[in-house]
Chain A
Amino acid sequence: MISQRAKTGLEKLFPQYLEESLKTELHSSWNIQKVDVKKIDVKNFVMLTISSYDFRLIVLLHFSADNNSLKYVSDSLKIPSDELSLTRYHDYLSEIGNILCGTLKRGLFQFFPHLGMSTPNKLGNESLKYVESYPIDHAIHIHAKARDEVEFFGSLYVSSIGELDFDPATISKNEEKVEMGALEMF
């Protein structure tokens, strides 16, 4: 069972963490909006999990390999677009997902000291509808767009066994700060 204030906290923190994870020199400002899951029309997503005794959080970063998204990644890596392989593109987005999930984990760590985080995996969007087959207590879907050209979607699913409750007002500012490139280590 997730408390109302925990829902409110995640709805505030998740978009903020996603924006911080996507920010680069060229794409420093993102327009973030809540979106219906049916509007997520992209090819793939990166999936990560945060596990605790009492709950499980599933974090998804939805993306397509369109020209704008590829250019966003090649610009971020400071390499020419034609040198960006699809594997490297996927690796980069996996790292974005890693940073997003790692920041969320660190934010929650002060309330739940026993947390573990998975490595990212890429899945096809055809599998997305089956996430709903899990006992989901709360879901957040957001759309992030920068410079009116590149867009990603983020989803957070909360599946709780015990009680998931925390006061978002007490999350320290340090925990909210995202350190780019800091991969979640074992």
Chain B
Amino acid sequence: MIVFFILAGGIILGAALGAAYFLLVYIKRLQTEWQSERTQLQQQLNDKVPASELKTLRNSHEEAVKKLRSDHTSLLHESEASLNKCRQLLEKTNRETEQRVNDLSYTLSQLQANTSACKAELQKDVSSLLNILSTLHRWDDEMSLLMQQNKYMLNQNTEFAVIVKKTVVLALNAAIEAARAGEAGHGFAVVADEVRSLAIRAEGFSTNYRDSLYKSDLVTTSTFQDVQASGKMIFAAVHALDSALNKLP
């Protein structure tokens, strides 16, 4: 019986201890949850504006709105004033531009009139310059005559050289004949020697003259060609100028 009571008492004590343990765990959990909820509530409480500052805030907000309205109104007035100024400036500029356009149109028309007059004058001058062709032809003809004259003189000199050569031979023959005649031909030998000497000098002169004519032939031809080629160049340049002038509006 005692054992029974002891066992029953033990069981009851164990059950009581178990119940007490579970109760402790439950209480601990409740405590943690409560702590968390408290922290959240504290946080919410911290986030809220205090009632004492609320009025101050409202007042400052109303002040700011009033100031903004005032600024907006003054800005609006300033803008309107600026707009009016711009309109006036634009009108003034328009008037001035119109005046300048009129002035420029007048100047342009005067310039056009002057340019047309100058162009007409220039065209007339250039057209008359094209008559340079007749001058070039005249030079051409005259230079051709000079070249022909040169050739004629060369031919004359060739003939002269032949005569001189024959005279030298003749003088030599005369000298031989005079020597054959002996004392009687002495006077004739002197004359023949003199003639031979003159003929030899004439031969030298003829050779020099021929060389001069060859040089003259080249110089004349070269000058003629340069004048002719340069004349064509000038004529082509004037012609190009005339064409360019005619293309002008």
* Number of chain B residues close to chain A: CB under 8 A: 23
Chain B residues closer than 8 Å to A58, beta-carbon distance? 222, 225
Out of B210, B214, B235, name the residue touching A130 (CB < 8 Å).
Answer: B214
Asked, given contacts A49-B225, A121-B224, whether A115 binds B233 with beta carbons under 8 Å apart, the answer is yes
Closest-CB distance, B17 to chain A (whole angstroms): 118
Residues of B contacting A128 with CB < 8 Å? 218
B229 within 8 A of A: yes
Known contacts A56-B226, A117-B232; 10 additional CB pairs below 8 A are A51-B225, A52-B233, A56-B229, A58-B225, A115-B229, A117-B229, A118-B229, A121-B147, A127-B217, A128-B218
Chain A, interface size: which category?
20 to 34
Q: Which residues of A contact B219 (CB under 8 A)?
A: 130
CB distance from A136 to the nearest CB of B (A): 12
Is A48 among interface residues, defined by CB-CB distance under 8 A?
A: yes
CA–CA, A148 to B232, complex, Å?
A: 39
Are A116 and B221 touching (Cβ within 8 A)? no
**Min CB–CB distance B156 → chain A (angstroms):** 15
For residue B66, which residues in chain A have a CB less than 8 angstroms away from its CB? Answer: none
Chain A nearest CB: distance from B223 CB in Å? Answer: 10
Closest 7 CB pairs of A and B: A116-B233, A116-B232, A118-B225, A49-B225, A51-B229, A127-B218, A116-B229
Q: Which residues of A contact B (CB under 8 A)?
A: 47-53, 56, 58, 114-119, 121, 123-124, 126-128, 130-131, 133-134, 186
Q: Is the CB of B225 within 8 A of A127?
A: no
B230 at the interface (CB under 8 A from A): yes
Q: A51-B226, A117-B229 are in contact. Are A123 and B221 (CB under 8 A)?
A: yes
B135 to chain A, nearest CB (A): 14
Q: Kindly identify which residue among B215, B226, B236 contacts A114, using a CB–CB cutoff of 8 Å.
A: B236
Q: A123 touches which one: B217, B234, B236 (CB < 8 A)?
A: B217
Q: Does B231 contact A (CB under 8 A)?
A: yes
Give the interface SS of chain B, mostly helix, strand, loop or mixed: helix
B237 located at the interface, meaning its Cβ lies under 8 Å from any Cβ of chain A in the complex: yes
Any A CB within 8 A of the CB of B228: yes
Is there an interface contact between A47 and B214, defined as CB atoms closer than 8 Å?
Answer: no
User: Which residues of B lie under 8 Å from residue A119 when comparing CB positions?
Assistant: 225, 228
Write out the residue numbers on chain B whose beta carbons fall within 8 Å of the beta carbon of A114.
233, 236-237
Give every chain A residue within 8 A of B232 (Cβ-Cβ). 116-118, 186
Segment 178-222 of B: residues with Cβ below 8 Å from A: 210-211, 214-215, 217-219, 221-222
**Contact, CB under 8 Å: B215 / A130:** yes
Chain A residues contacting B229 (CB-CB under 8 Å) are 49-51, 56, 115-118
**CB pair B236 A118 closer than 8 Å:** no
A47, B210: Cα distance in complex, Å: 20
Tell whether A134 pairs with B233 under 8 Å between CB atoms, given A121-B147, A127-B214: no
Determine if A124 and B217 form an interchain contact, defined as CB atoms under 8 angstroms apart: yes
A128 to B217, CA, bound (A): 10
B96 CB, nearest partner CB in chain A, Å: 48
User: Which residues of chain A are near B231, meaning CB under 8 Å?
Assistant: 116
Docked Cα-Cα span, A173 to B215, in Å, equals 39
A11 to B80, CA, bound (A): 83
Cross-chain contact A49 with B226 (CB below 8 angstroms): yes
Of the candidates B215, B226, B230, B237, the one whose C-beta lies within 8 Å of that of A127 is B215
Among A49, A52, A116, find the residue whose CB has the most chain B CB atoms closer than 10 A.
A116
| Chain A residues whose CB sits within 8 angstroms of the CB of B218 once the complex forms | 123, 127-128, 130-131
Is B230's CB under 8 angstroms from A116's CB? Answer: yes
Question: Which of B217, B219, B230 has the most CB atoms of chain A within a 10 A radius of its CB?
Answer: B230
A48: B residues at CB distance < 8 A? 225
